[in-house]
Amino acid sequence: MLLEATNVSKAFGNFRAVAGADLAVDEGEIIGLIGPNGAGKSTFFNCLAGETMPTTGKIVFAGKDVTHALPEARARAGIGRTFQVPTTFEDMSVIDNVMVGAFLRHPHRNDAREHARRVIDLTGLRADQEARSLGTPGRKRLEIARVLATEPRLLLLDESLAGLTPTEMQEAIALVRRVHETGVTIVIVEHIMEVIMTLTKRLLVFNQGRVIASGTPDAVVRDEAVIEAYLGRGHRRRLESQRTSDKLVQND
Amino acid sequence: MRGRVGWGLLAAGLLLYPMLLTGPFYRDIGVTFLLAAISASAWNIVGGYAGQVSVGHSMFFGLGAYTPLLLYTLWGWPPLAGIPFGMALSVALALGIGMPTFRLTGHYFSMATIAVAELIRIFFGTWDLVGAAIGLQGPAVARSVWDLTFRSELPYYYIFLAVLAVLLLLTSALERRRFGFYLRAIKASERAAKSLGVPVRQTKMQALALSAAFTSVAGSLYVIKTGFIDPDSAFGILISVQMVIVAALGGAGTLFGPLLGALVLIPLQTATNSWFGGGGSGLTYILYGGIIVVIARFDPGGLFDLWHRVLPTLRKLFGSRAHAA
């Protein structure tokens, strides 16, 4: 087991954004995490990455308890993450951005640069381009490159593929596949079902701060609790009444 | 290559300047310019590269200024010997104030640094050991060469120039190492830097300590030259503001930005002072205010950034003319 989060919860005052979530990830998996807006996915991600300290629960990574470890310590341990809104270092070039990540395992400049170049080749970016001149797809790609340079064992991708055109998305999916092939375990939060269905073998659904369903993507999307979480309570009755009124219209 | 030639010319210009313009007025400008460049370059490490805009760096300048004269007053030490003690005190103060103030970000950090500097100024103004409001004086006549009391400005000019060279070489070496990358990453996004394993607090503390040490040296150099210090000329807010403006004008977070800023600001400041005489001392504030407005409105990246933005346009213009011809 690479990562095991047990009964993780995070409360902001009276509001429990994450309420007893569990997640177990084996080395080499790609897991999808979906859920309606406000389900607590990002807060849960932040708990895993160390940006937010959980109120209760335990997070064990590679056999070590990291529940209260700082983000920088988790990065050293091998947990990497991207952000929903890309936070590239704007005034730096692509290679300098990636070198910041590379310095974690390669303290000397030349080694860091060499490693950064390898990662940039994998991600298909241009090393000397200024980060500020990149568009959304480029920024997302750069974020992935930057975190890859830290040589993570587990990569948490927070909507890294949102806001891309269909072509860009296909390229991004191929990139995530390549990254996975290098041996990195991936947990991906995503709204776009196409991405989830193509990339993942196992899918978890988050609602109201908890995991409400898990299994293969095909099984999960048919799960009653999942449909209810997305469409709301009483969706079946609404569907039926819709059908009845359709019929009435046809009969008229 | 072209850059190297440019900086070679600048170095030659700085070395030859006091030989070419020999009047005491020009030499005084030269020394003031170097002091401003040293202070702003020291500030630049934490304020420019790491983006932690301290507006209280006069606290380190002041400690660097007071310590040599205090050691002279108490035990007759040559002021030169006080420099390392000033640096040590400044580093200690930097670590002390860094712990709580680095919990704040942005404007809150800036305000906290102003508050600390002001507290120290007021405290020194009432502390008898350091001469309270009157301040301290150094050796009036040189007892030996170690007192570094010269009639001419020339030795000061070259001593200051040497310190500036050391500071810039050190900054340039750090800029290219992991430390420099980490500082720029912290400036851009602390959150992202942390997620990549950058030890953000530790790096900021190191930057502040290094910056404080060199700002302290600037204070010591100032006092070795002038021979006296009082709370306002050591800890006054204008001292801090000048460092910020000089660096921002030239380009904060660039190696030569502070140098360029001092090259523009100091002659301008001296000129306004001499045009308007003693009655115009308040004009410095107006000048600083004006520069802040101009930088904020038109050119947040400073003159260096402006140059880099204008250069392609110039090349294009030049190129198209050459084409037309």
SS (H, E, C) chain A: CCEEEEEEEEEECCEEEEEEEEEEECCCCEEEEECCCCCCHHHHHHHHHCCCCCCEEEEEECCEECCCCCHHHHHHHCEEECCCCCCCCCCCEHHHHHHHHHCCCCCCHHHHHHHHHHHHHHHCCCCCCEHHHCCHHHHHHHHHHHHHCCCCCEEEEECCCCCCCHHHHHHHHHHHHHHHHCCCEEEEECCCHHHHHHHCCEEEEEECCEEEEEECHHHHHHCHHHHHHHHCCCHHHHHHHHHHHHHHHHHC
A80 at interface of B, judged by CB pairs closer than 8 A: yes
Q: Which is higher by pLDDT, A52 or A163? A: A52
Residue A252 has what pLDDT? 60
Best mutation target among A70, A91, A100 (most B Cβ atoms within 10 Å) is A100
* Domain spans, chain A: 3-251
User: Cβ contact (<8 Å) for A75 and B194?
Assistant: yes
If pLDDT is split at 50, 70 and 90, which confidence band does A163 have?
Answer: confident
Residue B72 has what pLDDT? 93
Of A71, A91, A149, the CB nearest to B184: A91
Residue A245 has pLDDT above 80, yes or no: no
Contacts of B145 (CB under 8 A, 6+ apart): none
Of B181, B188, B200, the CB nearest to A90: B188
If pLDDT is split at 50, 70 and 90, which confidence band does A237 have?
Answer: low
Residue B325 has what pLDDT? 39
If pLDDT is split at 50, 70 and 90, which confidence band does A249 have?
Answer: low
User: Cβ contact (<8 Å) for A87 and B189?
Assistant: yes
* Cβ–Cβ under 8 Å, residues B185 and B192: yes
If pLDDT is split at 50, 70 and 90, which confidence band does A105 have?
Answer: very high
Phi and psi torsions of A215, nearest 5°: 155, -160
* Cβ–Cβ under 8 Å, residues B153 and B24: yes
Mean per-residue pLDDT for A168-174? 88
- SS3 (DSSP) at B151: coil
User: Cβ contact (<8 Å) for B195 and A91?
Assistant: no
- SS3 (DSSP) at B238: helix
Q: What are the structure tokens assigned to B303, written together? A: 């003159």
B188 at interface of A, judged by CB pairs closer than 8 A: yes
Residue A32 has what pLDDT? 92
Mean per-residue pLDDT for A204-209? 89
Of B178, B188, B196, the CB nearest to A75: B196
Contacts of B185 in chain A (CB under 8 A): 89, 92, 100
Residue B291 has what pLDDT? 80
Cα(A78)–Cα(A72) distance, integer angstroms: 10
Which range is most confident: A156-165, A206-215, B184-193, B312-321? B184-193
Residue of B nearest to A85 (CA): B192
Contacts of B197 in chain A (CB under 8 A): 72, 75-76, 101, 104, 150
At B52, which amino acid appears?
A: Q
User: Cβ contact (<8 Å) for A109 and B178?
Assistant: yes
Residue B281 has what pLDDT? 64
Residue B170 has what pLDDT? 96
Digit-coded pLDDT (tens) for A14-63? 898 999 899 999 999 999 998 888 888 889 989 999 999 999 999 999 99
- SS3 (DSSP) at B47: helix
DSSP-H helix ranges across chain B: 2-20, 24-44, 58-75, 79-101, 107-124, 154-176, 178-188, 190-195, 200-226, 231-235, 237-250, 257-276, 283-298, 302-324
From B43, B98, B238, B181, select the one nearest A89 (Cα to Cα).
B181
Residue A38 has what pLDDT? 84
From A107, A128, A108, select the one nearest A117 (Cα to Cα).
A128
User: Cβ contact (<8 Å) for B193 and A100?
Assistant: yes
Q: What are the structure tokens assigned to A126, written together? A: 């241009």
Residue A239 has what pLDDT? 61
- SS3 (DSSP) at B305: helix
Looking at domain A3-251, its CATH architecture is: 3-Layer(aba) Sandwich (3.40)
pLDDT per residue as tens, chain B (325 positions): 556 787 788 889 999 998 888 888 888 899 999 999 999 999 999 999 999 999 999 999 999 999 999 999 999 898 899 999 999 999 999 999 998 888 887 888 999 999 999 999 999 999 999 888 898 988 877 777 777 777 788 899 999 999 999 999 999 999 999 999 999 999 999 999 999 999 999 999 999 999 999 999 999 999 999 999 999 999 999 999 999 999 998 999 999 999 999 998 898 888 777 777 666 567 777 877 888 788 777 766 778 777 777 777 777 777 655 444 3
Cα(A150)–Cα(A156) distance, integer angstroms: 13
Contacts of A80 in chain B (CB under 8 A): 195
